[in-house]
Amino acid sequence: CFPKPPQIGKSPLSNESSLNIPQRTFGIDYDRNCFVKDGHPFRYISGSIHYSRVPRYYWKDRLLKMKMAGLDAIQTYVPWNYHEPQMGVYDFSGDRDLEYFLQLANEIGLLVILRAGPYICAEWDMGGLPAWLLEKESIVLRSSDSDYLAAVEKWMGVLLPKMKHHLYQNGGPIIMVQVENEYGSYFACDYDYLRSLLKIFRQHLGDEVVLFTTDGASQFHLKCGALQGLYATVDFAPGGNVTAAFLAQRSSEPTGPLVNSEFYTGWLDHWGHRHVVVPSQTIAKTLNEILERGANVNLYMFIGGTNFGYWNGANMPYMSQPTSYDYDAPLSEAGDLTEKYFALREVIGMVSIPSTFLEWFFEISQVGTVVEVLDRLSPSGPVKSTYPLTFVQVKQYFGFVLYRTKLPKNCTEPTQLSSPLNGVHDRAYVSVDGVQQGVLERGKSLMINITGNAGANLDILVENMGRVNFGRYNNDFKGLVSNLTLDQDILVDWEIYPLNIDGAVNHFIHGYPGHPKRSGGNPQSYEAPAFYTGTLSIPGGIPDLPQDTYVKFPDWTKGQIWINGFNLGRYWPARGPQLTLFVPSNILVSSVPNNITVLELEHSPCSTLLCEIEFVDEPIINATTPSTLQADLLFVPQPLSFPL
Ligand SMILES: *[C@@H]1O[C@H](CO)[C@@H](O)[C@H](O)[C@H]1NC(C)=O
Ligand SMILES: *[C@@H]1O[C@H](CO)[C@@H](O)[C@H](O)[C@H]1NC(C)=O
Ligand SMILES: *[C@@H]1O[C@H](CO)[C@@H](O)[C@H](O)[C@H]1NC(C)=O
Ligand SMILES: *[C@@H]1O[C@H](CO)[C@@H](O)[C@H](O)[C@H]1NC(C)=O
Ligand SMILES: *[C@@H]1O[C@H](CO)[C@@H](O)[C@H](O)[C@H]1NC(C)=O
Ligand SMILES: *[C@@H]1O[C@H](CO)[C@@H](O)[C@H](O)[C@H]1NC(C)=O
């Protein structure tokens, strides 16, 4: 249904209209097949922005650009694990200040469609579910499992009352709230679970707000995803059959507004696969068809942003997602207006503000290997256990854990160290007495040869590469989740060191006395995981500096980088497709040197080439490497049909 303009002569502020037209209401008109806002038929064109993927500093800028693209509304997810890092510990401050984000949207005149979870998918670690849920190992996530539901109820009891003030009828921007996400794609198909969520949402938000679900546009997906009392919407990609997609929605909702809650402007990437690009013309054409029907649409994503820190998710068979969540969206990761932005919406009076920065190389140097600074990274020392424990069992959810045992025998000849049950989640950097031996990788490399003497320290630094966010493998335990064997013998008597690297980067690594570089092992391929530091000075007094920039890693292999303690995310140029990481200007200063810390896990250029990282003014997220070309044979992007 096409919105009709308010009748001339009846200003919403006049006394007459306030008698006749209900003020600030939002609902569904099943007779006219549309939404109805303040008594008038209403259709929205919305765009997705995830506040958790954009620094707070840039929220206003991005929202203004969305407003100027002509959008009526924005859509955002609430990642539960971002706000409840430990059970019962809540964080709504700084970059997590959701209420401030909602207030900005309201001030700018954008309505909000809130996707409150508890599960969100979103290419976000574990689909937004907190990893501490896995402390009950047998938990059935996204079901009526009593422990799961109790945790959900408690969390929603914190989140939803905060959201209530921001509902449209209470003067805020939120017109609709989504319950769960694509539940029809999940194996559990537990209607009682959806009923419990419906009850919890109604309890906290009242009866008036429109609650809805989103599922793939087929009766198959809607079967377990839709529930009486939750308005069923669908999602589908450009280029498909719009009639068929909306017919699927009609199988659940015979009348009411047509809604595509995720109309894909691009697509997600995986490490080792070619960067996905979706041409603007394809999107513009299908968008036109959707709008011609009077349907409502949300462009997913309008701006993708960045998986800062450790927040990326993964898909199965295990493939983790890169740091950039650019998504080939109309606004780039850095908020620049792209050709797609202009193609999707005529923009009036918009001034493009490109990210520019002088192109500079910065020298950095090694300060120590992970093993050398172990006491600083793991001040409370190791947990001892006969067999390996998972991350959750040692109460660490993200980053890295070091597993140490002694070699039980002389391995003078190359001896097989293996993970017969594919239990390295997700990558392990193996050394013997500080000499690097190789890398084990989930689903890819289950065996390496090692050498060393009986009694030597066998150190296995395990990296959590992001938890599976989609499908039945959500219970994604990290660390050594099954035994390792040396020859055929199970290795025992582990010392397991939880590592607080992010804390250490802030507090000690700068100014830590450097160690001379150590070589050994297999110099062509692997070096011990080590920290490198350097500083980046930005001249003061130049009005336009600092600005956004991108950092590039010439001849580096794989690791993590922090600037002034802010964790920018993972880099992995050796696998691609992403070669540069976005550096938002708000983390840079010009008054004192900016501190850079790099944790390189495999091989740095420092011993043979220049020990430098580079700042550039253009992102490269579409590189092809030998590994991406090979991986392309295995992976064809297909919305909504990842293998379970
Ligand atoms: C689109 O789907 C509709 C309904 O299933 C069908 O009638 C129509 O032929 C399809 N159009 C194309 C181009 O495949
Ligand atoms: C390992 O080899 C050394 C000599 O290289 C020998 O002294 C030692 O007994 C051996 N240890 C074991 C456990 O076999
Ligand atoms: C490990 O060593 C054995 C014996 O030297 C050799 O046959 C095998 O190819 C090696 N495996 C790997 C993965 O290097
Ligand atoms: C390791 O093997 C032991 C003995 O077979 C078994 O009891 C234990 O559960 C295994 N541990 C893991 C993490 O698989
Ligand atoms: C960088 O580290 C030094 C030494 O710890 C500190 O004095 C300085 O303030 C840090 N710079 C920034 C921008 O935080
Ligand atoms: C990557 O994108 C840039 C800018 O759109 C383009 O010029 C370049 O050809 C692309 N490279 C590859 C390998 O696709």
Q: 120 with 78: CB under 8 angstroms?
A: yes
Query: How confident is the model over 523-552, as pLDDT tens digits?
Result: 457 899 999 988 887 766 666 678 888 999
- Please tell me the distance between residue 135's alpha carbon and the centre of ligand 5 in angstroms: 37
Provide the 3-class DSSP secondary structure of residue 103: helix
* Residue 397 clears pLDDT 50, i.e. is over it: yes
Give the per-residue pLDDT at 197.
98
The reply to whether ligand 5 has any atom less than 6 angstroms from the CB of 589 is yes
The reply to whether ligand 5 has any atom less than 6 angstroms from the CB of 332 is no
Q: 619 with 323: CB under 8 angstroms?
A: no
Q: What is the mean pLDDT of residues 479-495?
A: 97
> CA–CA distance from 143 to each of 101, 150, 210 (Å)?
30, 11, 23
The token pair at 224 is 């377990």
Give the per-residue pLDDT at 423.
97
Give the per-residue pLDDT at 28.
97
Of the bound ligands, which one is closest to the alpha carbon of residue 414? 3
* Residue 510 clears pLDDT 90, i.e. is over it: no
Distance from C-alpha of 177 to C-alpha of 447, rounded to nearest angstrom = 48
Of the two residues 69 and 631, the one the predictor is more confident about is: 69
pLDDT above 70 covers what percent of the chain?
Answer: 87
What angle do helix axes 280-292 and 242-252 make, rounded to 10 degrees?
Answer: 50
Name the closest-CA residue to atom 10, ligand 1. Answer: 241
Task: Give the DSSP letter of residue 94.
Answer: G
Give the per-residue pLDDT at 285.
87
Give the per-residue pLDDT at 523.
44
Active site residue 182: yes
Q: Give the model's confidence band at 238: pLDDT under 50 very low, under 70 low, under 90 confident, else very high.
A: very high
Provide the pairing of β-strand 296-303 with 174-178. Answer: unpaired
* Residue 513 clears pLDDT 50, i.e. is over it: no
- Ligand 4 pocket test target in 386, 405, 418, 490 with most atoms within 8 Å of CB: 490
Give the per-residue pLDDT at 23.
81
* Residue 17 clears pLDDT 60, i.e. is over it: no
What angle do helix axes 191-205 and 146-164 make, rounded to 10 degrees?
Answer: 30
Q: Give the model's confidence band at 357: pLDDT under 50 very low, under 70 low, under 90 confident, else very high.
A: very low
Q: 574 with 557: CB under 8 angstroms?
A: yes
Name the closest-CA residue to atom 11, ligand 1. Answer: 241
Place of tokens 């989103």: 214
Q: What is the mean pLDDT of residues 425-444?
A: 96
256-289 burial string, b = 16+ CB within 10 Å, else e? bbbbbbbbbbbbbbbbbbbbbebebeebeebbee
The three-state (H, E, C) secondary structure of 376-403, written as one string: HHCCCCCEEECCCCECHHHCCCCCEEEE
The amino acid that residue 489 corresponds to is: D
Of the candidate ranges 135-139, 337-341, 638-642, the one whose mean pLDDT is the lowest:
638-642
How many other C-beta atoms lie within 10 A of the C-beta of residue 230? Answer: 23
Q: Give the model's confidence band at 363: pLDDT under 50 very low, under 70 low, under 90 confident, else very high.
A: confident
Query: How confident is the model over 333-345, as pLDDT tens digits?
Result: 999 999 999 888 7
Q: Tell me which residue of 77, 505, 632, 106 sits closest to 325, measured CA to CA.
A: 77
Helix or strand (DSSP H, E) at 449? strand 447-452
Helix or strand (DSSP H, E) at 563? strand 559-563
Of the candidate ranges 127-131, 252-256, 479-483, 620-624, the one whose mean pLDDT is the lowest:
620-624
Distance from C-alpha of 622 to C-alpha of 619, rounded to nearest angstrom = 9
Distance from C-alpha of 59 to C-alpha of 615, rounded to nearest angstrom = 24
Q: Where are the alpha helices (DSSP H) in 109-230?
A: 146-164, 191-205, 219-225
Give the per-residue pLDDT at 348.
22
Give the per-residue pLDDT at 631.
53
Sign of the Cα pseudo-torsion (53, 57, 62, 64, in order): positive
Contacts of 613 (CB under 8 A, 6+ apart): 361, 362, 364, 534, 551, 552, 553, 554, 556, 561, 596, 598
Q: What is the mean pLDDT of residues 570-589?
A: 94
* Residue 6 clears pLDDT 60, i.e. is over it: no
Give the per-residue pLDDT at 509.
60
Query: How confident is the model over 316-327, as pLDDT tens digits?
Result: 999 999 999 999
Give the per-residue pLDDT at 479.
98
Name the closest-CA residue to atom 2, ligand 4. Answer: 483
Active site residue 262: yes
Q: What is the mean pLDDT of residues 454-462?
A: 98
The burial of 327, by beta-carbon neighbours within 10 Å (0-12 exposed, 13-18 middle, 19 or more buried), is given as buried
Give the per-residue pLDDT at 519.
44
* Residue 9 clears pLDDT 70, i.e. is over it: no
Give the per-residue pLDDT at 106.
93
Distance from C-alpha of 461 to C-alpha of 370, rounded to nearest angstrom = 9
The amino acid that residue 95 corresponds to is: D
Give the per-residue pLDDT at 1.
41
Q: Tell me which residue of 361, 370, 358, 427 sits closest to 570, measured CA to CA.
A: 427
Place of tokens 């002694």: 406
| Residue 221 phi, psi dihedral angles, 5° rounding | -70, -35
The amino acid that residue 553 corresponds to is: F
Q: What is the mean pLDDT of residues 124-142?
A: 97
Q: What is the mean pLDDT of the chain?
A: 88
Give the per-residue pLDDT at 535.
82
Of the two residues 378 and 19, the one the predictor is more confident about is: 378
Q: Which residues on adjacent β-strands are paired with residue 44? A: none
Of the two residues 164 and 291, the one the predictor is more confident about is: 164
The reply to whether ligand 1 has any atom less than 6 angstroms from the CB of 251 is no
Give the per-residue pLDDT at 148.
98
The token pair at 641 is 């049909």
* Residue 137 clears pLDDT 50, i.e. is over it: yes
- Residue of 84, 123, 180, 262 marked catalytic: 262
